[in-house]
Amino acid sequence: MDVEAEAQQQEQINPHRCHICPLTQDTAPRIPLENSPWMYLQCGHRIHTNCFLEKSYNDDLSTIRFSCPACQEHALTNHMVEWIEANDIHFYRPLRLETLWNENAELREDIKNLSKLQRKHSLVIRNHKLESAQLKNEWKRAIHSSLEYIRLQKKEFKNRLVNLPYRKKAIRAINEITHLRASLIAKYPNLSWHNLSQISRIPGAPNLKNYPRVGRWIFSGNRLFHIRF
């Protein structure tokens, strides 16, 4: 006897049971069956709300993939599924992204090329972050005198920022990465600046860094040496 048939048999014995009530006695405290709230599916069958939530959590299911355990009819109407797909609801994005990754060989190759480009420039970007952080720490130690002294020092530190050894290389590196990311997002409508970095969660996908979209503004002296009085 399969699980569904056994559940139906138990439901006939106990009318308070639903099709997905746990058949085994668990140790966690549960709501009494006679007081458990019901949720009705579009096919007419009903299940306990807490049983649905527990099954969704344990089986890592999303609402869009849930079907009635009694008749296997989809829990959502086709119109609702179309609306979710069109509006890219947050719980559907990982499923859509994983499907796109598994079915599109061209996307996998493009993502791998992006990962290679990031690894190529990672050392330059990391070195610039270190040298700019060192300059910023030095700036913080210097601002201990009058406002006039701070204004004079700010010009000097901005000039030093412009002449950092890795600055221009880092700007070109991030702009190159940004250009490739933008081309991928334009090529694949299901990708966005946010979920592109989430591809790393898919088994077998490369690890992508979430660099800023624009390269030059993060190297601005006004941002690096901004002081509030």
Average pLDDT for 129-138: 83
Which of 1-15, 65-79, 137-151, 180-194 shows the highest mean pLDDT? Answer: 180-194
Answer yes or no: is 93 within a domain. no
Picking from 60, 87, 114, the residue at the C-terminal end of a domain is 87
Residues 37 and 140 in one domain: no
Q: What is the structure's pLDDT at 160?
A: 83
Please count the structural domains in the chain: 2
Residues 77 and 174 in one domain: no
Answer yes or no: is 92 within a domain. no
Answer yes or no: is 173 within a domain. yes
d(CA 97, CA 100): 5
Report pLDDT digits (tens) over 83-104.
666 665 555 566 678 888 888 8
Residues 216 and 106 in one domain: yes
Residues 68 and 125 in one domain: no
Residues 42 and 130 in one domain: no
Q: What is the structure's pLDDT at 116?
A: 93
